[in-house]
Chain A
Amino acid sequence: MTTATLSRWDRFRESFLWYSFKRDKVAIVSFLVLLLMVLAAIFAPLLAPTDPYDLALINIMNSEMPPVGMQGADAAFPLGTDAQGRDMLSTILYGTRVSLLIGFGAVVLQAALGILFGLLAGYLGGRVDSILMRIADVQLSFSTLMVAIIVGAVFKASFGSLMFGEIAIYMLIFIIGVAEWPQIARTVRASVLAEKKKEYVDAAKVMGFRTNRIMFRHILPNTLSPIFVIATVQIANAIISEAALSFLGLGMPETQPSLGSLIKSGFDYIQSGSWWITLLPGLVLVVLVLVINLLGDWLRDVMNPRLYKG
């Protein structure tokens, strides 16, 4: 057991991935920042000074206090407070947690759908391929954000605001996952088309393996690296989509805010000069998305899969 993990670790250290990572300062810094943010999000309940979900801890008298360093600041609230008197540091930590959870969940869902449909379309070909890819084309031409907004609007209208708020996390994962699956399905299909001409697939067919086994056990592992690259960028896209939906009021409720709904609730107060309620969560959102995008760029350069342009 230990020897196996050891050799795997050694193999990783000899790999090109690690080699190029060590030499790319942007990748290292991005990775460290991302790691820090993910850890802060996971351990938010331990790190946050107060629990923003606990209504008993909120005092309206503390509302709209500026961050430390400005006039009228309170040392108890290092990043100031929002309009309801919640500590900004705590809400941002919890908000990052919600945003990351939705981003990650949505990508898992769209990867599952995208891999399944991409494999079916690429390997089976024929009518299955043309139907699935037509659907993907149409959905992409409508832009994934538009699809997500419409689905979100319909869900919200049919469930009602209150109920939608309670199940918003699952709804958003579902909406964004379903809206973005074509991106991954196309990538998978393209690599499946290249893989299925290779000899090992012929060999597997001759040996009489079932289609399912060939698709999932033989071809899928060889298409993983482009999936990995596109999934990284898709996490960033999903986080932006979630923020956009929440900003439009189709996402997380204010009682359980994500970074997007924090920006939305702060936007109502920006004209009165309380810029920190909007811009601090905004800054965290931009840094989070930026480091994920930078890591995605780096991964794409290293793995160099045949990705679509644009």
Chain B
Amino acid sequence: MLAFLVQRISQAVVVMFVISVIAFAIQDGLGDPLQEMVGMSVSQEEREALRDELGLNDSMVVQYLRFAGNAIQGDLGNSYFYGKPTLDVIAEHLPATLELVIGASLIIMLLSVPIGVYAAIRPQALLSKFFMGVSTVGISIPVFLTAIVLIQIYSIGVTVEWFPADTGWGSWLNGALTTEGGLPSYGRGDDLTHLFGTWNSGFFSNRGLMHLVLPCVSLASIMLPLFIRLIRAEMMEVLQSDYIRYARAKGLSAVRINFLHALKNTMLPVITVGGVQIGVMVAYTILTETVFQWPGVGLMFLEAITRSDIPLIVAYLMVVGLIFVITNTLVDLVYGLVNPTVKLTGKKA
């Protein structure tokens, strides 16, 4: 166990080192800090002197070591646009993204387990086939398109006049498909509760929750089909095993077998894959936040790209890299703890 621990942690350190080298290369390769700092009128000699002073003429290795040393001490430079330390900017934006991920994860957990289990227990039922069909379609819809459709339906509202309005069923169908609109589709709203530090939460007020609904549903929509399929596949495999057959032969009730005996062993791989997928969700938050103008780190990153705010881009890479490395290492460790014989295999993008 100790060897495993050391191996995983040293691997995480190596990955973080590679990420920092990439981030350093980006910082070094993109743009010239002198151009940002001085005007046109500064002479060549003064530029050279400033270069020396800033250490830009030092060797690559020395510059990298300085960069890494500062990074470890929590100094990743100042953002050009915000004019303050990049890590502070990220700290201000991170809570919004985390709330999005938390909300989406809640939706995924609450829906995927019952649907996945049901589809595994009754694979031939019409409802199961419907859920599996919907999940295949769901995988094929890009997250930003789901978001746009949700905005169109629940924020702008749609008027449906496809069916003959003079018949009873026609006007009922028209009425049922027509939506009023009204859910907010822009930002987090201003009714936020201050928790601690930079964390202002939207979870504790009605307006805040309303603002969370559409972004969280969109973000959940991309992961939900994956989880339903995964839970269904794992559950079906578990239901084939000997101990379940034995439990059936013993005459235990179906509910007890399915939810106590089978579900426990189904959830083991699901939780670990889930841990990794929550990290993967960070990529999708960029898309979701763009559509909803959600003031989180994803939108901040995209704006940093448009503004060529290189220190902020680099800081985002380092922070997101660290989040990924930590979640993956934790997931690996938990998995190794619970089940040392099984190697964690594939995970889909």
Residues of A bordering B, CB below 8 Å: 134, 138, 140-146, 149-150, 153-154, 156-158, 180, 183, 186, 236-237, 240, 243-244, 247-250, 260, 263, 267, 270-271, 273, 275, 278-279, 282, 285-286, 289-290, 293-294, 297, 308-310
Contacts and interface: CB of A to CB of B under 8 A. Distances in A.
A146 B347 contact: no
A154 B230 CA distance: 34
A66 B194 CA distance: 46
A290 B349 contact: no
B149 A279 contact: yes
A286 B145 contact: yes
Interface of B: 11, 15, 18, 26, 29-31, 136-137, 139-145, 148-149, 151-152, 156, 226, 230, 233, 269, 273, 276, 279-280, 282-284, 286-287, 290-291, 301-302, 305-306, 308, 310, 313, 317, 320-321, 324, 328, 345-349
Contacts of A270: 148, 151-152, 156
Contacts of A150: 317
Contacts of B306: 249
Nearest to B26: A154
B144 to A, nearest CB: 5
B287 A248 contact: yes
Contacts of B287: 244, 247-248
A243 B140 contact: no
Contacts of A260: 142
25 contacts: A138-B15, A141-B279, A141-B324, A141-B347, A143-B349, A145-B349, A146-B282, A157-B30, A183-B349, A236-B140, A240-B140, A248-B290, A270-B148, A271-B156, A278-B148, A286-B141, A289-B140, A289-B141, A293-B136, A294-B136, A309-B230, A310-B230, A310-B273, A310-B345, A310-B347
B273 A158 contact: no
Nearest to A308: B346
A101 B29 CA distance: 31
Contacts of A134: 11
Contacts of B313: 153, 157
Nearest to B139: A293
A297 B349 contact: no
A94 B156 CA distance: 30
Contacts of A236: 140
Contact of A248 (B141, B230, B286, B348): B286
A310 B226 contact: yes
A282 B287 CA distance: 15
Contacts of B324: 141-142
A244 B144 contact: yes
Contact of B233 (A140, A157, A309): A309
Contact of B29 (A158, A249, A275): A158
B312 to A, nearest CB: 11
B68 to A, nearest CB: 19
A158 B286 CA distance: 21
A241 B308 CA distance: 23
A143 B346 contact: no
A64 to B, nearest CB: 16
A142 B30 CA distance: 23
Contact of B346 (A154, A156, A186, A282): A186
Contact of A157 (B145, B269, B273, B308): B308
